[in-house]
Amino acid sequence: MLRLLVTGGAGYIGGTVAAILASKGHKPVILDNFSHARRDLLPPGIDSIEGELADRAALERMFTAARDRNQPFDAVLHFAALIEAGESMTRPEIYFRNNAASTLSLLEAMLACGPRSLVFSSTAAVYGNPQTVPIEEDASLIPTNAYGQSKLLVEQMLTWLNRIHGLRYASLRYFNVAGADEGPRGITRGEAHEPETHLIPLVLDVALGRRPSIHIYGSDYPTPDGTCIRDYIHVSDLAEAHLLALEALAANDRLIFNLGNGRGFSVREVIASVRRVTGHPIPAEIRPRRPGDPAVLVASSAKAIHDLGWQPRYTDLDEIVRTAWIWQQKRHGAAPRHG
């Protein structure tokens, strides 16, 4: 059994990972400031601490107290971050402070008195506009938005801390996360961002009658239908990859993996999938492009599949949307419909 600190564990991805860790017999402890998460969606039966990553002294006290109780943390899984690329282009300063500077406080606390292994939730946004698709891990890192730059700064810090202090880390670069976890009790958690800005839950809001239409930001990209193409990965598949990366750190001191579906779907294709799954018409409105949005982001997950033995289960877009649809109906109290 591993005792693991999960930062941002009250959120969508971190909470899913924490729940799966617990189901496999590990002891996750969630650290979150609850600024973008709901307490009622905390995974049941998992301890949580309210705190700030920027407070290095408090982090050191937490690590020291755990060690003094003979219950030291074995590793940290770091999800806590601001994640909206569009917002980062209007308020870049809060992304550098929250995502980069606060992570440095965590890393300093780990070096001082905490565990020396970290699984870092990075992003495909570190690549910017890739020269080749699908993107491989050795592609150029040229972010086009401040969100991606803030995550790249963390990766650069990790490179140096690994080289100089021996901090072990796995950096997982992933793309659009979607869907809801299907556990033994059915679907019990999924996306619940406030406010919501991700495409699939926004389109499902239209199906639920919570918004009149979906906005398509840009229809003149160099793609087959003119809309942006993204690689959608199911949250459960992503969680499993984090566990595999954590296990692999026992034999490796530095790992970098892309995680994705391997297939790209355009905004129009996502809308069409929601129409099929829900049986609802989805009115769409074309709006101007958003700054910092690359035309195509699709991952090559060949390295993770080969090195980690990772096998994504949800590769069909309609299946990903199906789980998200069940969750959003439960979340908003709608009568379940399956299209």
* Residues carrying an active site annotation: 147
Contact between 28 and 9 under an 8 Å Cβ cutoff? The reply is yes
**Residue burial 89-115, b: 16+ Cβ < 10 Å; e: rest:** beeeeebbebbbebbbbbbebbeebbb
Residue 134, preceding bond cis, omega within 30 degrees? yes
**SS3 per residue for 291-337:** CCCCCEECECCHHHHHHHCCCCCCCCHHHHHHHHHHHHHHHHCCCCC
Cross-strand pairs, 117 = 168
Q: How far is CA 227 from CA 123, 246, 313, in A?
A: 21, 36, 26
| Environment class of 200 (CB within 10 Å of its CB; exposed 0-12, middle 13-18, buried 19+) | buried
Report residue 184 as tokens: 């033994």
The dihedral of CA 113, 170, 123, 15: what is its sign?
negative
Rounded CA-CA distance 127/134 in Å is: 11
Report residue 208 as tokens: 């639920």
